Structure 1
Amino acid sequence: MDDVVVVRTGSGPEVLLVHGGASPRTTWGALSALADRWTLAHVHRRGYPPSPAPRAGQDYEVDALDLAPLLVGRPHVVAHSYGTLGALAAVADAPESVRSLTLVEPPLAFLVPDDPDVARLEHLGDAVLTHGMDTDPAELREFLRLAGAQVDDGPLPPEVAAGVRRAHGARLPGRPRPRLDLIRRARVPVLVVSGGHAPAHERICDALALALDGERTVSPGAGHFVAAAPGFADRLNTFLLASENGG
């Protein structure tokens, strides 16, 4: 089997959940109550069991190919962090194939050129993806904290170190230029969400919402794992219902 695995729970219209660097459970666990109204389709990106390992490193271009056939049923798409890159590419290729698109703290630094906070975030992310555990220790921990990991100056917890190794060698997120104009032109309902914990994420999300003519909201309280923030599940549910009614 070479296909990615999608685990579905609940009933109702499908919500395709695309995680980033953390597991689906870590990323989306706080949304479980939405299964009373929606079919939650948890995509396991390559390298995240039970999906197969990637042939090389993590790659948003491969993610886009994996996601394309999952859009056949016209789901709502909700994507987080690195997972937004593949989701944006897949949706831009077939914007009529989604009911809505929710994007949570995407790594799209190109949207905010010449901003020092955004440039710093991009530098840290690129360093970790390029060097893995050999990244400068201070920069590694700075990035991990921005990415939601609970780390101190001591040895990294085993699960955090495993995540760094899995991310090592990934295609860098600064290269893609997703066709945001195609998504906007198709009038796809868009919600862009940040966690209120880092200026760089706020500015990127502001710029993305403007580019896509989307709704913009901030859900603080859970750092980068915004889906676990108080009120996020209710806000997402409201947006999904509005998109259903509008579609």
Structure 2
Amino acid sequence: MCRGALATWQRNATQSALHQEVVVSEQILAFDYTEAGSGPAILFLPGSFGTGAGWKAVLGHLGDGYRTVTTSLLGYGSTPDTRPDGNATMAQQVDLIDRIIDRIGTSPHVVGHSYGGLSALVHALTGQRRPRSLLLVEANPLGLLRSAGDLAHYAMFEAMTRPYFADYARGDAEAPRHVIDFYGGLGTFDSMPPKVRSYVVATAAVNVRDWSSGTPFEPSRETLQSIAIPTTVVRGADGHPAMRRIAELLHDAIPAARLVTIDGGSHFLPSSHAAEIAAVIRQHVDGVPTT
């Protein structure tokens, strides 16, 4: 794992994008919204502890010819968290994505990293606004391991989340180290600059809601086979074994899905391998027939 690239990703996570406001049930729901360029629309969904700024390096390599939209998911950046403690669901995240697509005004190609990839996947299955295609970068629907009967890899997640939740519940400010080190390797949390580490600590409650909302999602193979849009699944060759297995299961179940493995990459591919991810996005989007 490239420590410098991870630090850049997390530093970008502390930046905020522009605001877009819509009326929801007589309340104002604000969400981060930054748009640039023209061409096929691409919506970028960041992972936990991140904002739309986390895609900055990828966008720098993507080139012209695309209408890019970045945002932040619930609780990150300037997007408020509408999920109550103890009752966080993916439905609330799906609703946010629907509203962002309404703002875009057309069906975008949706690119999601980590929890953003999980959110994109659930939205493709249950959302009201159909995406043009999916590109899932190190997506983490860990419940897929349970539904596939791969309890050994699922137990790897449990071995991390169990002490994470316990440490968080007892007020340990450094509880997020369990998550960061799980994905980035032992010592990654300690290697972060103090300002970046403070942001991760400050959004721990949001991340706990991410886990509590995403973990119950256990799609069957038949459910994933209903995805009828072009899909590319991306994983890091040096990523966590459980994450590599999830990518395999997604590729095997989603019809005509393409699996791309980034050599030398781990979990934080949008920062550590921005040029390679941009190339995959170009190939994916340019290969989808226009309608």
Shorter-chain TM-score bucket reads 0.7 to 0.9
1:120-143 per-position Cα deviation (integer Å, ceiling 9, x unaligned) = 124423653565374889985343
2:81 equivalent to 1:83: no
Aligned partners of 1:89 and 1:179 also within 8 Å: no
Distance change (3 Å), C-alpha of 1:198 and 1:135: farther
1:134-187 per-position Cα deviation (integer Å, ceiling 9, x unaligned) = 488998534312334832399973223223243134424220134774664453
Aligned partners of 1:17 and 1:41 also within 8 Å: yes
SS at match of 1:36: coil
Which has the higher mean CA deviation after the structures are superposed, 86-95 or 27-36? Answer: 86-95
Which has the higher mean CA deviation after the structures are superposed, 57-66 or 197-206? Answer: 57-66
SS at match of 1:2: strand
2:241 equivalent to 1:241: no
Distance change (3 Å), C-alpha of 1:96 and 1:66: closer
Alignment partners' CA distance in 2, 1:35 and 1:22: 26
1:173-231 per-position Cα deviation (integer Å, ceiling 9, x unaligned) = 22013477466445310011112221111001000111113100112445311223151
2:75 equivalent to 1:47: yes
2:168 equivalent to 1:168: no
Aligned partners of 2:143 and 2:219 also within 8 Å: no
Q: CA deviation at 1:240?
A: 0.9
Aligned partners of 2:109 and 2:285 also within 8 Å: yes
The one-letter amino acid paired with 2:182 is: L
2:229 equivalent to 1:188: yes
Alignment partners' CA distance in 2, 1:129 and 1:172: 14
Q: How many residue pairs were aligned?
A: 246
Of all paired residues, the percent bearing the same amino acid is: 23
The one-letter amino acid paired with 2:252 is: L
- 5+ residue gaps, structure 1, are none
Q: After the TM superposition, which residues 1-247 of structure 1 pair with which residues of structure 2 at under 5 Å, given as runs?
A: 1-25=28-52, 27-33=54-60, 34=62, 36-57=64-85, 59-72=89-102, 73-93=106-126, 97-112=130-145, 113-125=149-161, 127-128=163-164, 131-132=167-168, 134=170, 141-148=177-184, 150-152=188-190, 157-170=197-210, 171-178=212-219, 181=222, 184-185=225-226, 187-196=228-237, 197-213=239-255, 214-228=257-271, 229=273, 230-243=275-288, 245=289, 247=291
Alignment partners' CA distance in 1, 2:53 and 2:182: 16
Distance change (3 Å), C-alpha of 1:55 and 1:143: closer
Alignment partners' CA distance in 2, 1:105 and 1:16: 16
Distance change (3 Å), C-alpha of 1:199 and 1:61: same
Distance change (3 Å), C-alpha of 1:59 and 1:155: farther
Which has the higher mean CA deviation after the structures are superposed, 130-139 or 107-116? Answer: 130-139
Which aligned runs of 4 or more in structure 1 are off by greater than 6 angstroms?
Answer: 135-139, 153-156
Q: CA deviation at 1:77?
A: 0.6
Which has the higher mean CA deviation after the structures are superposed, 56-65 or 234-243? Answer: 56-65
Alignment partners' CA distance in 2, 1:215 and 1:64: 24
Aligned partners of 1:11 and 1:35 also within 8 Å: no
Distance change (3 Å), C-alpha of 1:237 and 1:95: farther
Aligned partners of 1:184 and 1:211 also within 8 Å: yes
